[in-house]
Amino acid sequence: MNETVVTLKKGEGRSLKAGGLWIFDNEIDTIKGTFQNGSLVEVQDFDGYGMGRGFINQNSKIRIRMMTRNPKQPIDDVFLQKRVQAAWDYRKDTVDTSSCRVIFGEADFLPGLVIDKYEDVLVVQSLALGMERFKETIVGLLKEALLADGIPIRGVYERSDAKERDKEGIPRVKGFIGADFDTNVAIVENGVRYMVDVANGQKTGFFLDQKYNRLAIQKLCKGKRVLDCFTHMGTFALNAGIAGAREVTGLDISEFAVQQATDNARRNGLQDTVRFRCVNVLEELPRLAAMGEQYDVVILDPPAFTKSRQATKNAVKGYREINRKGLQLVRDGGYLATCSCSHFMTQELFAKTIQEAAKSVHKRLRQVEFRTQAPDHPILWAAEESYYLKFYVFQVVSAYI
């Protein structure tokens, strides 16, 4: 197999050797051979030991994304079919597959590729140049694997319109892969009905990673007054409503999201108990506190406050402030559910930040549980970037009792 050979510097490739899939630009010593960005290369350690094959892109700081640890492994349809089948088999073992993430990039050893399944529709997101050449082949193989289990796919939509594409030097794209179809997809999750707009919703249309965290808050909400902040499509609010909450308020700054959430409440017959308002959450929480409002359950599900290591310090301030404001609205003995979806906000740092927020408003926290992303977003321990979602549930009591 004659191809470009990339040799690492002595002492580099520590993440790769631990089981990760990324090689950064500053870890490379030499590149021998001719190649185009996106093509496959063989990777060797400084002493010539073969470390596998991956695709290279000189536009990206993540210079190589590994496809296999076998330096002689052909990356062909047989290889890809095994990867796809393994990903689908894992989901069948671990989650409700009616709607789920079927392929989660590096954690499924298909770097840079995400495929979500919403009932009989697939949504594809390709975030790496090298994956572009395999994308449609993988989609075809996945459709075959699903059909073998009696699941015909009626349409595939691509949402490769994320900013990460800019770092790879490739344009953002969005549209149908194959024939056009109705991109509004009805799904049911945890007994809640939603209409997912895969063409216009955030990311691939819906946040599947919180599936079982939403289910976990149901047991806290029966007969309760609930506030759901950054509600997006109303997901936590509707789980509270379906569990029998007596009153639920969802807040979000997006009018589009609030309209979707309101429609979903009506879809579930919850329009009388679950209501949504379009507001700036950071401004609304102090206003509610000044009015003396108190809730049995407060849910904080903000967008990521940082997407880079350099911005983590400011993110800590943001998470501390939002948790401080949320805690002031929890009645004594009530519950706070709070989360961070930033990879750079580690579990330890997030816990420390919540503790600081609680101390500043004279609250004590009793941890009910700690959770993370749903199993269809598996955490590959050697790939830190695959672990991003931290979700805490606390009982909140006064510091003075």
Q: What's the CATH code of the domain at 49? A: 2.30.130.10
Residue 335 lies in a domain: yes
List the Cα angle 280/165/378 in 5-degree steps.
75
Identify which of 215, 237, 217 has the alpha carbon closest to the alpha carbon of residue 228: 237
Distance (Å, rounded) from C-alpha 230 to C-alpha 300? 7
**Residues 6 or more apart in contact with residue 108 via CB below 8 angstroms:** 83, 86, 87, 90, 378
Q: Which residues of the chain have pLDDT under 50?
A: none
The encoded tokens of residue 252 equal: 């979000």
Domain that holds residue 180: 77-187
The CATH number that applies at residue 356 is: 3.40.50.150
Residue 196 lies in a domain: no
102-135 residue pLDDT tens: 999 999 999 999 999 999 999 999 999 999 999 9
Claim to verify: residue 342 and residue 302 sit in the same structural domain: yes
**How high is the pLDDT of residue 311?**
67
The CATH number that applies at residue 178 is: 3.30.750.80
339 is catalytic: no
Claim to verify: residue 133 and residue 64 sit in the same structural domain: no
- H, E, C per residue of 276-304: EEECCHHHHHHHHHHCCCCEEEEEECCCC
Claim to verify: residue 41 and residue 96 sit in the same structural domain: no
Residue 16 lies in a domain: yes
Residue 33 lies in a domain: yes
**How high is the pLDDT of residue 307?**
62
CB contact at 8 A, 154 and 228: no
Claim to verify: residue 89 and residue 230 sit in the same structural domain: no
Residue 194 lies in a domain: no
What is the reported pTM? 0.94
Identify which of 241, 236, 211 has the alpha carbon closest to the alpha carbon of residue 225: 241
Claim to verify: residue 93 and residue 180 sit in the same structural domain: yes
Please report, to the nearest 10 degrees, the dihedral formed by the alpha carbons of residues 231, 235, 240, 242 taken in order.
140
Distance (Å, rounded) from C-alpha 210 to C-alpha 299? 13
**How high is the pLDDT of residue 199?**
93
The encoded tokens of residue 240 equal: 């509270």
DSSP-H helix ranges across 67-117: 77-94
Claim to verify: residue 238 and residue 289 sit in the same structural domain: yes
Give the chain's end-to-end CA distance (angstroms, integer). 72
The encoded tokens of residue 185 equal: 């997809």
Claim to verify: residue 15 and residue 131 sit in the same structural domain: no
For 76-133, strand residue ranges (E) read 99-104, 113-118, 121-126
225: helix, strand or coil: strand
Claim to verify: residue 154 and residue 295 sit in the same structural domain: no
Q: In what order do the strands lie in the sheet with 121-126?
A: 99-104, 113-118, 121-126, 155-160, 173-176
Q: E strand or H helix at 237, and its extent?
A: helix 235-242
333: helix, strand or coil: strand
Distance (Å, rounded) from C-alpha 384 to C-alpha 273? 40
Claim to verify: residue 308 and residue 333 sit in the same structural domain: yes
Q: How many domains does the chain have?
A: 3
Claim to verify: residue 64 and residue 151 sit in the same structural domain: no
Claim to verify: residue 86 and residue 47 sit in the same structural domain: no
User: How many other β-carbons are positioned within 10 Å of the β-carbon of residue 176?
Assistant: 13
The pLDDT > 70 percentage for the chain reads 98
User: How many other β-carbons are positioned within 10 Å of the β-carbon of residue 349?
Assistant: 17
Claim to verify: residue 223 and residue 354 sit in the same structural domain: yes
Identify which of 188, 189, 194, 181 has the alpha carbon closest to the alpha carbon of residue 213: 189
Residue 143 lies in a domain: yes
Residue 199 lies in a domain: no
φ and ψ at residue 137, rounded to 5 degrees: -65, -45
Residue 63 lies in a domain: yes
Q: Among the options 100, 229, 339, 341, which is catalytic? A: 341
**Residues 6 or more apart in contact with residue 78 via CB below 8 angstroms:** none
Which of 14, 38, 68 is at the close of a domain? 68
Which of 68, 91, 123 is at the close of a domain? 68
Which of 129, 157, 187 is at the close of a domain? 187
